[in-house]
Amino acid sequence: MLASVAEYRIAARRRLPRLAFDYLDGGAEDGDALRRNSDAYRQWLFKPRVLTDVSRCSSTTQFFEREAAAPLIVGPTGLNGLFWPRADELLAQAASRASLPFVLSTASTSLLEDVRAAAPQGDLWMQLYVQQDRGIAEDLMRRASAAGYSTLVLTVDVPVHGKRDHDTRNGFRLPLRLSPKLLADCLTHPHWCWQMARTGSPQLKNIAKSVGEHADLSRHSAMLSRQMDLTLGWRDLEWVRRHWSGKVIVKGIMGIEDALLAAAHGADGMVISNHGGRQLGSTFAPLELLPGIVAAVRGKTEIFIDGGVRRGSDALKAVALGARGVLLGRAPLYGLASRGAAGASEVLALIMEEMLISLRLLGCQGISDLGPAYVGRDGSRDAAPG
Ligand SMILES: Cc1cc2nc3c(=O)[nH]c(=O)nc-3n(C[C@H](O)[C@H](O)[C@H](O)COP(=O)(O)O)c2cc1C
């Protein structure tokens, strides 16, 4: 086991060819939103209490009445098969073993039914992108419901794909074509190359199945990037409700007005998210928006957050500021991309261990003890030592 998520990131960079690592790690345009996401966590500092009896301390919490081992969720990431074969199954198993929910992306490279079979006891959530052909989304919701997925995560911040300079620079196109550049990359990353040669190119299997076609990466990735339903609006939450009887979370909220609209339209939860800085190149960090959104909508709907969480202590800061849970995007992927199933499990164990250590050092016995009194903003009077 490595010492930190940062070290798993370095290990992932070593194992993956440049174009795959940049796709995992990079942000949109100049990477301003990406950097700001993590920097925001450095702006908040802890204010611990002492002599509180932390002999018994637990990070357990509940998401929609279901117990989880920590306020963490393995978030949806598409094209995971680019990093390791059967990646979605392995991530779902790692999450299930850690007693955390796993969110499967619409752009997953495994069938949602296979992911369920791999993690029969897991709390699985389904992420939905809505394309112009609404029949695809309707079929995905039907299949996910039949497979026992508990919660739908409707991602609303990708009407078009963000501009990612690194993908242009690296000639990242799907399916991957063996250019001289990729060939050179392969020679210096033989393990990845051998795995890809053995298992074949990843495919967007869920979309293929719901479209009723054979897997065809170039066709189905083009559908995702060019045929999103640009007419999607708040009223469509009613359409979602007609096809999904479980909980519905809207992912991609970045302001109080939209948070209020999500609550008014009956969303069970929302994820404050800028898609990990992969869409708009320059935005506020979700953590910067969290206190204002909590003040506006707490009690009306559940508030989740993601973006830039690399330590258990980062997640605790978000919880102290009012988040019910934190979605992890890149962190488990660094583990998976470096060491497969073992790496994914190790990263989750690492973050959960960091959480428990920090929780005890804060003088808390459990997650419900945490609140705004445990953090202060750097530079503000309430953060200054007395
Ligand atoms: C490689 C990659 C693929 C992603 N694919 C999706 C996706 O298919 N659907 C989605 O809603 N979000 C997707 N996201 C965004 C994540 O769900 C999450 O919002 C973001 O990664 C959080 O930031 P973090 O990576 O700093 O934790 C993706 C992120 C990454 C890194």
| 130, 136, 226 from 133: Cα distances, Å | 8, 6, 12
Q: Which of 68-77, 199-208, 219-228 has the highest mean pLDDT?
A: 68-77
Q: Are 303 and 323 in contact (CB under 8 A)?
A: yes
What are the pLDDT digits (tens) for 119-131? 999 999 999 999 9
Element (H, E) at 67: strand 66-68
Output the pLDDT for position 384: 62
Q: What is the pLDDT of residues 7-21, one digit of tens each?
A: 999 999 999 999 999
Tell me the percentage of the chain whose pLDDT exceeds 90. 88
Residue 380 has pLDDT above 90, yes or no: no
- Atom 16 (ligand 1): residue with closest C-alpha? 329
Query: Would you tell me which CATH number, out of the four given (3.90.79.10, 3.20.20.70, 3.40.50.720, 3.40.1190.20), belongs to the domain 5-380?
Result: 3.20.20.70
Read off the pLDDT of each residue in 171-181 and give the average, rounded to a whole number: 82
pLDDT bracket for residue 353 (50, 70, 90): very high
pLDDT tens digits for range 195-207: 988 998 899 999 9
Query: Computed over its alpha carbons, how large is the radius of gyration of the chain?
Result: 20
State the pLDDT confidence band at 382, using cuts at 50, 70 and 90.
Answer: low
What is the per-residue pLDDT for 180?
86
State both tokens at 159.
Answer: 């009407």
Q: How far is the CA of 74 from the centre of ligand 1 (A)?
A: 10
Q: Ligand 1 centre from 271 Cα, in Å? A: 12
275 is catalytic: yes
Domain boundaries, the chain: 5-380
Q: Is the CB of 307 under 6 A from ligand 1?
A: yes
Phi first, then psi, for residue 128 (nearest 5°) are -120, 125
Q: What is the pTM of this model?
A: 0.97
* pLDDT above 60: residue 386: no
Q: Is 257 exposed, middle or buried (0-12, 13-18, 19+ CB in 10 A)?
A: exposed
State the pLDDT at residue 144: 98
Q: Choose the weakest-confidence range: 153-162, 222-231, 293-302.
A: 222-231
Per-residue buried b or exposed e for 344-364, using 16+ beta carbons within 10 Å of the residue's own CB? bbbbbebbbebbbebbbebbb
Residues 6+ apart with CB under 8 A from 285: 33, 36, 37, 39, 40, 274, 307, 308
Read off the pLDDT of each residue in 240-251 and give the average, rounded to a whole number. 98
Owner of token pair 């488990």 = 332
Beta carbons within 8 Å of 366's beta carbon, 6+ residues apart: 57, 58, 59, 60, 359
Q: How far is the CA of 386 from the centre of ligand 1 (A)?
A: 40
Confidence of residue 385 (pLDDT cuts 50, 70, 90): low
As a whole number of angstroms, the distance between CA 38 and CA 34 comes to 7
Q: Among the options 189, 220, 265, 275, which is catalytic? A: 275
pLDDT at 148 over 90: yes
Residue 187 has pLDDT above 80, yes or no: yes
What's the confidence (pLDDT) of residue 127? Answer: 98
Rounded distance between C-alpha atoms, residue 226 and residue 220, angstroms = 10
Vertex 119: Cα angle to 307 and 357 (nearest 5): 50
The pLDDT tens digits of the residues spanning 23-42 come to 999 999 999 999 999 999 99
Task: State whether the beta carbon of 164 lies less than 6 angstroms from ligand 1.
Answer: no
Closest residue by CA, ligand 1 atom 3: 77
